[in-house]
Amino acid sequence: MSSSKEDPKVEVYNRINKLKLKAGAALNDGPGKLDQSSVDRANSVVTSMASLYPKEIKNMLAGLNKEWEQLKAIGPDGKGKARQVEKLSNTANHIKDLGTTFGYNLMGHFGESLRDFILKTDLTMNEHLTIVQAHIDVMGVAFRENLKDDDGGPLAEELKMMVKAAIKKYTPELAESDESPLPPSTE
């Protein structure tokens, strides 16, 4: 620090929040205030798209299976593995987003768990492949049985426990760490 007794001059720039304007808020609406009609329009779009969820998630699961088969065909050290792993992770994330947006929280849970597992491992061990396959299998069951989460009852809990058990069995260092790929438990 300087031993000068002069106060340094501070300039404050007030910038326009362009994102806030795009979201429908006016400049003087205060922090975070959004135009209610914009919120209502967005909610109606999401509601109208909810009927498309089954078809969209079916397509996403088919894509996930295809990407998974391609990754297995590449092998643990094959060319293009990194790109294929990234595609698999992105699809799992998209499934998470679709599930949570349209109230299928169980599907969102498994999508998030798979994405996080992929990001925290290198998928070179057979045990890792088993865990990915377990995620894909339980997502298929959740879709076929139209399980949302709370209304899934014992079957939903059993599916969660299957994935959790596989992760604990094959990668105990991840299951017990702060970086666990498991989303927070609802137990």
pLDDT tens-digit map of 60-100: 999 999 999 999 998 877 888 889 999 999 999 999 999 99
d(CA 187, CA 30): 39
Domain that includes residue 126, residue range: 51-175
Question: Is the residue at 73 inside a domain?
Answer: yes
Q: Domain of 76: which CATH number? A: 1.20.120
Question: Is the residue at 93 inside a domain?
Answer: yes
Question: Is the residue at 86 inside a domain?
Answer: yes
Sequence-ordered list of residues with C-beta below 8 angstroms from that of 25, at least 6 positions apart, any chain: 17, 32, 33, 34, 35
Question: Is the residue at 107 inside a domain?
Answer: yes
Question: Is the residue at 168 inside a domain?
Answer: yes
Question: Is the residue at 186 inside a domain?
Answer: no
- As for how many domains the chain has, the answer is 1
pTM: 0.73
- The CA-atom distances, in angstroms, between 31 and each of 19, 25, 123 are 12, 9, 44
Question: Is the residue at 23 inside a domain?
Answer: no
Is the predicted pLDDT of residue 187 greater than 50, yes or no? Answer: no
Through-space distance between the first and last CA atoms of the chain, rounded to whole angstroms = 53
In whole angstroms, what separates CA 175 from the centre of its chain?
18
pLDDT tens-digit map of 10-64: 888 777 777 767 766 666 666 666 677 877 888 888 888 888 889 999 999 999 9
Is the predicted pLDDT of residue 164 greater than 60, yes or no? Answer: yes
Question: Is the residue at 5 inside a domain?
Answer: no
Sequence-ordered list of residues with C-beta below 8 angstroms from that of 4, at least 6 positions apart, any chain: none
